[in-house]
Amino acid sequence: MAALGCGERPGRAPGIIGLEVDARDLPRGLLHAREILPVRPGTAWLWFPKWMPGTHAPCGPVENLGGLRITLPSGATVAWRRDDEQPNRFRCEIPPDADRVVVAIDYLCNNPSVNSDGVDSFGNVDMGVVNWNTCLMYAEPPEGAAGADDAVRLRAQIRLPDGWGRTCAIDSMPDDDGSLHLQECSLAELIDAPLLAGVNLHSVAISDGRLRVSLDMLGPAGQSLEIDDEVVAELRSLVREMEAEFPGPAPFAQYHLLTVLSDVIPETGLEHQRCSLNIFPVAEWNGGASSEALGQLAHEFCHAWCGKYRRPAGMVTGDYHRAEHTSLLWVYEGLDMYLGEVLSARAGIVDADGFVARVENFAEEMALQSGRAWRSVEDTAIANWQLRAPCRRWGELRRDQDYYLEGMLFWIEADAIIRTETQGARSLDDVCARFLAVEPGASPRPYTGDDVVAALTAVLPYDWRGLVESRIMRPAASPPWTSLERCGYRVDMSAKPSSSPTAIREHGFDERWSLGMSIQRGIVSAIVPGSAADRARLGPGMRVSLVDGKPLSAASLMDALTRSRTTGVVSLRCNDGHGWRDVQLAYDGGPQRLTISRSSDAPDLLAAIARPRAAAAQIPQTAILPAVDNVPVAPAPDGSLQTVP
């Protein structure tokens, strides 16, 4: 690899970082980097990036450093000491006549934490994923100076193993020695553009229209990466629906759906401005693609507008060491969840019935989170990275990252309110067209909670602040059924049969609405507080072998629940680690399942929300639509609705 010195290579220009990454050891799980870093004489604080965009967490994987050496260009050693309170921060003393240092990093790949898998680096014998934040440091700017992400410029190059191809959202040019020189960019742009490399790469042009999109795939050697025509058609339909949803300029010139197929690299999905990183097991794309995989691509793609371009002000820090304030993740992730699910349905990735079923399942899961009684959706957003790891015991009491699902339910309810109050003339699509519109100027374009309320009010005057207070800011006293009811659905309990054999194999016996427990592979996996199982002092982790004296099965469990209407009890043989014993559950309700059905006296707004827009006929510009609060509205040239003067 051509050396980065103080001469004509990337480190020469004042204030520009020169970075060379030697990735030839990626097959062994190692990266080596050499960085020419401009500094000021005196005490310098160098940061290994800590707060990583997209993860919303202080998860920069500094624990995976396998070597850190700082020298002057002359080769003289510069001693460093780690900050006692900030493990990603390093102090060193720069001599009076020095204006740059050379930072040498050895990085240990394939060691992600629960929060860092989307921003870590990975490598094996035939493929690698390089996240540039694992290969560099930056100097903490003086107090009051511009942040590090956009103010700092870089010229980076990378050397890959022989025979490996690559794809990255930043253009690159090969050198005579085989290294690749990336186009000069800001620190923010580099960290936002992971690189895929390997022996088996395949790219498909999805769209070259207003939104230029490609699907760039990386797989193991010998794995077919041919994409079914049906999958390509669904992705192209998705792009058309996105063009309808986001009618103005795009926040990118070209978008890359970076997709890795691997049974070794952990599954993940992470958004970036010009690309998304999506890692799936090989089986997810075995000749085609599952609706879940395509739905993830849609979710991360929508983040280009919702999260990357429009971003909560508290999450725009200007560097990678100041803490992000994440209380508005119910917008960043919740609204994006709505967009990903809705646009997937409109594109045909999920059919209309499947979309309704998913919304129903989301609402049911949130209703079973007993932690809603003490913890608000906003609090799950503030504590988001502490909740990322699944809770193996009593998770319903703690809650998970519920700003995703319950945030989505808020936006479905908001859409239903707008559609109902305007007799279908307006919808959340109009809010998104305004709120997520790309405008000239810097990116990201930050917003506050007041901006969110103002965007909703601009489409429909309503007590949006009160709705946010009750649904997002405060703990909930009742299940989140309002979003479904406003969409024309009703929620009841019924004695439906137990789960299908397939559902039992995948999820076990789910009796949370009856006995208040679920059992997976003979082990209690969840207990509903206040239920019969809770009153009998059962707990997660206990084993169950018999129900009413018979081996546990779907049939024996259903028989026992049916008999409970007359006996008032269900008997379980349980083992809590101290031996087997019979436990009597006082219960007389019989089989119980939550059922969600259409209300006969209300329009089906979920069907309206999922209806495709891209194929709809254009309304003539002279058409006048129904008045809203006595203000007539008509289509604007961009397809959105505007008031008629």
Using a pLDDT cut of 90, give the percent of the chain over it: 83
Sign (positive or negative) of CA dihedral 377, 359, 598, 619: positive
Q: Would you say the C-alpha torsion 356, 357, 360, 362 has a positive or negative sign?
A: negative
Three-state helix/strand/coil letters over 141-199: CCCCCCCHHHHCEEEEEEECCCCCEEECCCCEEECCCCCEEECCEEHHHHHCCCEEEEC
What pLDDT band is residue 496 in, cutting at 50, 70 and 90?
low
Flag whether 479 is in a domain. yes
Q: What CATH number does the domain containing 270 carry?
A: 1.10.390.10
Residue 12 has pLDDT above 90, yes or no: no
Rounded to whole angstroms, the Cα distance separating 203 from 201 reads 7
Q: Tell me, what's the pLDDT at 126?
A: 95
Q: Which helix (H) or strand (E) holds 356?
A: helix 352-367
* Locus of tokens 């090969």: 174
- Above 50 in pLDDT, residue 7? no
What is the signed CA dihedral for 116, 122, 127, 128, rounded to 10 degrees?
Answer: 80
pLDDT band per the 50, 70, 90 thresholds, residue 440: confident
Mean pLDDT of the chain: 90
Residue 307 Ramachandran class (φ > 0 left, ψ -120 to 50 alpha, else beta):
left
Please state the rounded mean pLDDT for residues 17-35. Answer: 98
Same domain, 426 and 511: no
Least confident interval from 14-18, 124-128, 366-370: 14-18
Q: How do residues 240-289 score in pLDDT, each as one tens digit?
A: 999 999 999 999 999 999 999 999 999 999 999 999 999 999 988 876 78
308-336 pLDDT tens trace: 999 999 999 999 999 999 999 999 999 99
Cα–Cα distance for residue pair 506/520, rounded to 1 Å? 9
* Shared-domain flag, residues 157 and 240: no
- Residue whose structure tokens are 């253009």: 171
Q: Is residue 69 part of a domain?
A: yes
Residues 464, 429: Cα–Cα separation, whole Å:
16
**11-25, 391-405, 491-505, 543-557: range with lowest mean pLDDT:** 491-505
CA distance between the termini of the chain: 65
| pLDDT tens per residue, range 138-173 | 999 887 565 566 678 999 999 999 999 999 999 999
- Domain presence at residue 473: yes
Domain boundary among 197, 213, 248: 197
DSSP symbols for 496-522: PPPPPHHHHHHH-EEETTTTSEEEETT
d(CA 316, CA 322): 10
Residues 36 and 159 in one domain: yes
In this prediction, residue 421 carries a pLDDT of 98
**Whole-number pLDDT of residue 547:** 97
CATH number at residue 505: 2.30.42.10
599 compared with 645, residue with greater pLDDT: 599
DSSP one-letter string for 214-238:
EEEEE--TT------HHHHHHHHHH
Q: Residue 91: pLDDT band by 50, 70, 90 thresholds? A: very high
**Domain that residue 121 falls in:** 16-197
Domain finish residue from 197, 219, 242:
197
Record the tokens describing residue 86, joined without a space.
Answer: 């900030």
Residue 303 has pLDDT above 90, yes or no: yes
Domain membership of residue 345 (yes or no) is no
31-35, 247-251, 298-302: which range is least confident on average? Answer: 247-251
Shared domain check, 314 and 379: no
- Together in a domain, 35 and 152: yes
364 domain residue, yes or no? yes
How large is the angle between the packed helices 352-367 and 334-346, nearest 10 degrees?
150
Q: Which residue has the higher pLDDT, 349 or 289?
A: 349
Q: Do 308 and 414 sit in the same domain of this protein? A: no
Give the residue with greater pLDDT, 150 vs 437: 437
Instruction: For residues 258 and 366, state if they share a domain.
Output: no
In this predicted structure, which of 52-66, 216-230, 487-501, 515-529 has the lowest mean pLDDT?
Answer: 487-501
* 467 and 381 in a common domain: yes
pLDDT in tens, 544-595: 999 999 999 999 999 999 999 999 999 999 999 999 999 999 999 999 999 9
Q: Helices (DSSP H) in 303-351: which residue ranges? A: 329-332, 334-346
Strands (E), 477-630: 489-494, 509-511, 517-520, 523-527, 543-547, 550-551, 569-575, 580-586, 593-598, 625-628
Are 163 and 27 in the same domain?
yes
Any residues with CB less than 8 A from the CB of 635 and at least 6 apart, and which? 618, 619, 621, 623, 625, 641, 642
* Distances from the Cα of 62 to the Cα of 99, 137, 521, 643, angstroms: 25, 10, 38, 53
Q: Does one domain contain both 574 and 477?
A: no
Beta bridge partners of residue 573, listed in sequence order: 546, 582
Q: Is 461 inside a domain boundary?
A: yes
Of the listed ranges 60-69, 187-196, 407-416, 607-616, the one predicted with least confidence: 607-616
Mean pLDDT over residues 441-451, rounded?
A: 93
Structure tokens at 339: 């967009």
What pLDDT, on a 0 to 100 scale, did the predictor assign at position 639? Answer: 34
Structure confidence at residue 499 as a pLDDT band (50, 70, 90): low
CA-nearest of 109, 271, 125 to 200 is: 125
Task: Check whether residue 401 and residue 325 sit in a common domain.
Answer: no
DSSP state of 471: I
Look up the CATH number of the domain holding residue 99.
Answer: 2.60.40.3650
User: What's the structural domain count of the chain?
Assistant: 4
On whether the CB atoms of residues 216 and 196 are closer than 8 A, the answer is yes
Determine, yes or no, domain membership for 4: no
**312 in Cβ contact with 357 (< 8 Å):** no
Tell whether 2 is covered by a domain.
Answer: no
Sequence-separated (6 or more) residues with CB below 8 Å from residue 144: none
Same domain? For 110 and 56 the reply is yes
Report angle CA 352, 357, 359 to the nearest 5 degrees: 100
Name the domain boundary from 270, 305, 334: 334
Look-up of token digits 């959706």: 377
